[in-house]
Amino acid sequence: MEFNLDNLVRENIKRMTAYSSARHEYSGTASIFLDANENSFGSPLSENYNRYPDPLQLKLKEKLSNIKGVPFQNIFLGNGSDEAIDLLFRIFCEPGKDNVIIFPPTYGMYEVCAEMNNVTVKKVSLTENFQLDLSAIEKAIDATTKLIFVCSPNNPTGNSINRNDIEVILNNFDGLVVIDEAYINYAKQKTFIPELTEYPNLVILQTLSKAWGLAGLRLGMAFAGQPIIDYLNKVKYPYNINTATQNLAIEALSNISSINNWTKTTVEQKEWLKEELLELEFVQTVYPSDANFILVKMTDAKKVYNYLSAKGIIVRDRSNIILCDDCLRITIGTPDENKQLVEALKLYGA
């Protein structure tokens, strides 16, 4: 199927002229900057935060390019992955006309962003084993379907989506397929980033909030063909990633060994916690997970949730989500935190 990006982009986005900031118009080296109406005397902080940040975050993207194995021109950085999700709606979905497809249970921001942008959401539930229903997806797609969101590993279920099924959609859908890989560092399944050259309709979302331990910085990544990245840069706010975030992220990306060690420990702890939970009578199922959390089905999950909350242990009650009846989502903590959780649950079941 031949893919044509121009057929997807909203006409007003094609016509609009992006805001041209001072740092866009001059990005070279100079000794005196009198072009951006900044405070030339400095800032009360030790860093030079009186100057606007690089609007395209080129040093940070170069660092990510080396780590991810993708040209920096194929990288967009946002205020969390949520910014990229919202911009995709704004660029490609005509309010009140177009629709997107999601696969519940899944990450809630896809639907929230759709509602904010007045875009219809078509929900095609995952199967009982939390995989795609390709037949139902085919029936749901129509001429105004612009985006399909696939969360893999999925949140809140934790499992990876069958790779072949995703490729079926990529090969047969003439809109954008957005694969959210927020938890990919924990997964056995490989990232779709190497497939960017094969699929011009592919967008991949990742984040530094999970394995990289930088949730407080709010830095998300989108990887796509350069035409898509160009539109994201055209529509974003000029200085969407502040200087502190850029500098701290560059520093963190130089410490891959710690990230690898934490990831390895998290995976090991996940297996330990799964075995411990299955020993409890009220635990019915611990679903397979490629993420840094597990979905646990248990007898009267709300009661267990309230019990743990009273003890200062906070998990996520997902009982009201489709296919997740009586399920709690439990993030893998430190070994000590996980032991405290198990000890509390053993007392509950005693």
Q: 307 and 177 in one domain? A: no
Q: What confidence tens digit (pLDDT) does each residue in 66-78 have?
A: 999 999 999 999 9
Q: 159 and 103 in one domain? A: yes
Domain that holds residue 327: 257-349
Query: 101 near 149, Cβ under 8 Å?
Result: yes
Query: 249 near 217, Cβ under 8 Å?
Result: yes
Write the CATH number for 278. 3.90.1150.10
Q: 236 and 205 in one domain? A: yes
Q: What confidence tens digit (pLDDT) does each residue in 150-209 have?
A: 999 999 999 999 999 999 999 999 999 999 999 999 999 999 999 999 999 999 999 999
Q: 100 and 242 in one domain? A: yes
Tell whether the model's pLDDT for residue 28 goes beyond 80: no
Q: 148 and 57 in one domain? A: yes
Write down the mean pLDDT value for the chain.
96
**pTM of the prediction?**
0.96
Give the per-residue pLDDT at 27: 75
| Rounded Cα distance, 330 and 106, in Å | 16
Banded model confidence at residue 85, pLDDT cuts 50, 70, 90? very high
Q: Where a domain ends, among 196, 224, 254?
A: 254
Q: What confidence tens digit (pLDDT) does each residue in 134-166 have?
A: 999 999 999 999 999 999 999 999 999 999 999
Q: 91 and 28 in one domain? A: yes
Write the CATH number for 94. 3.40.640.10
Q: Where a domain ends, among 207, 230, 254?
A: 254
Listed residue (159, 149, 267) closest to 211, CA to CA: 267
What single letter denotes the amino acid at residue 294?
A: I
| Rounded Cα distance, 329 and 325, in Å | 11
Give the count of domains, the chain.
2
Banded model confidence at residue 1, pLDDT cuts 50, 70, 90? low
Q: 281 and 147 in one domain? A: no
Please compute, for residue 18, the number of CA atoms within 13 A of its CA located in the half-sphere on the CB side: 18
Q: What confidence tens digit (pLDDT) does each residue in 288-334 have?
A: 999 999 999 999 999 999 999 999 999 999 999 999 999 999 999 99
Q: What confidence tens digit (pLDDT) does each residue in 248-278 have?
A: 999 999 999 999 999 999 999 999 999 999 9
Q: 31 and 73 in one domain? A: yes
Q: 233 and 333 in one domain? A: no
Q: Where a domain ends, among 230, 254, 278?
A: 254
